């Protein structure tokens, strides 16, 4: 497995991977890898001949009071996991390489980025869209893989790729969960043991809400009950508990099309998100 930090040598390394017309997959990450990331790797190896992974903690997608400085960074452990998983090339750019002095361009995906996490974290999806566009353009893979835990991010990236005509297949990979149902996340490491125990109320509340909505209960009442369940478990700063159109992410008051149940709230100081297909 090759590890590249210098953007100047990336094109030649990519040309070597494509030497015999191999299909290239890209798995963008912010590091602190876990089994969810490795599921992306597994799917990438199924869909392509060679796998490129990026590790970059992107400052543009963190707000002023968010966790950029304490976001877990474990480059050596991450590299070992990727090599064991069959990754062919890891690109670890610096912020200075991606955003050199004078960098002045931001990509904004209107509409689909403005609800839910977009409303709760102003500027977040502009940062996501900008860095993902730069990574995709630098690598130009045949396929790029993203986890469905960040479902709105996946939708924003699909819109970005379509609008820019990049011709890259964007694949969403299902959420990987711990045995008790909590969605795997690098930020789970912030949770105390007691917070971790109580955090399972998030997936449990979404499962109960899904079942209730599918049985015909009124959506508004079900969502209110799910929010109350989160509050009772100790979640605070609940940004949303919502039923939304699976494609547009517009809120739904009745289940009349493919939908997604989604929630975002803080357990202690840790903001968690989750979603389920309905």
Which positions are catalytic? 37
Q: What gap in Å lies between CA 108 and CA 110, rounded to an integer? A: 6
Q: What gap in Å lies between CA 139 and CA 250, rounded to an integer? A: 32
Query: CA angle at residue 240 from 235 to 242, to 5 degrees?
Result: 125
Question: Are residues 183 and 191 in contact, defined by beta-carbon separation less than 8 angstroms?
Answer: no
- How many other CB atoms sit within 10 Å of the CB of residue 190? 19
Distances (CA, A) of 155 to 34, 151, 250, 268: 22, 6, 12, 28
Nearest C-alpha neighbor of 218 from the set 249, 226, 116: 226
């Amino acid at each position: 497995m090759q590890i590249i930090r210098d953007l100047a040598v990336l094109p030649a390394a990519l040309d070597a991977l494509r030497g015999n017309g191999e299909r290239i997959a890209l798995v963008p990450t912010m590091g602190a890898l876990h089994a969810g990331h490795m599921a992306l790797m597994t799917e990438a190896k199924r869909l392509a001949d060679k796998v490129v992974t990026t590790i970059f903690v992107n400052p543009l997608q963190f707000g002023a009071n968010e966790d950029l400085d304490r976001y877990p960074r474990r480059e050596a452990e991450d590299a070992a996991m990727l090599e064991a998983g069959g990754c062919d090339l890891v690109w670890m750019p610096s912020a200075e390489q991606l955003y050199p002095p004078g960098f002045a361009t931001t990509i904004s995906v209107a509409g689909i980025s403005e609800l839910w996490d977009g409303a709760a974290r102003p500027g977040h999806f502009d940062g996501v869209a900008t860095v993902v566009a730069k990574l995709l353009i630098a690598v130009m893979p045949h396929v790029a893989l993203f986890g469905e835990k960040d479902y709105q991010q996946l939708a924003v990236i699909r819109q970005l790729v379509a609008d820019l005509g990049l011709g890259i297949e964007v694949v969403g990979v299902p959420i990987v969960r711990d045995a008790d149902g909590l969605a795997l996340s690098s930020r789970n490491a912030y949770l105390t043991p007691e917070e971790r125990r109580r955090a399972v109320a998030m997936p449990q509340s979404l499962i109960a809400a899904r079942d209730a909505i599918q049985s015909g209960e009124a959506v508004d009442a079900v969502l209110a009950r799910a929010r109350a369940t989160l509050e009772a478990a100790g979640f605070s700063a609940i940004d949303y508990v919502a039923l939304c159109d699976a494609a547009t992410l517009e809120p739904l008051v009745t289940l009349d099309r493919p939908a997604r149940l989604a929630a975002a709230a803080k357990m202690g100081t840790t903001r968690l998100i989750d979603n389920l297909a309905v």
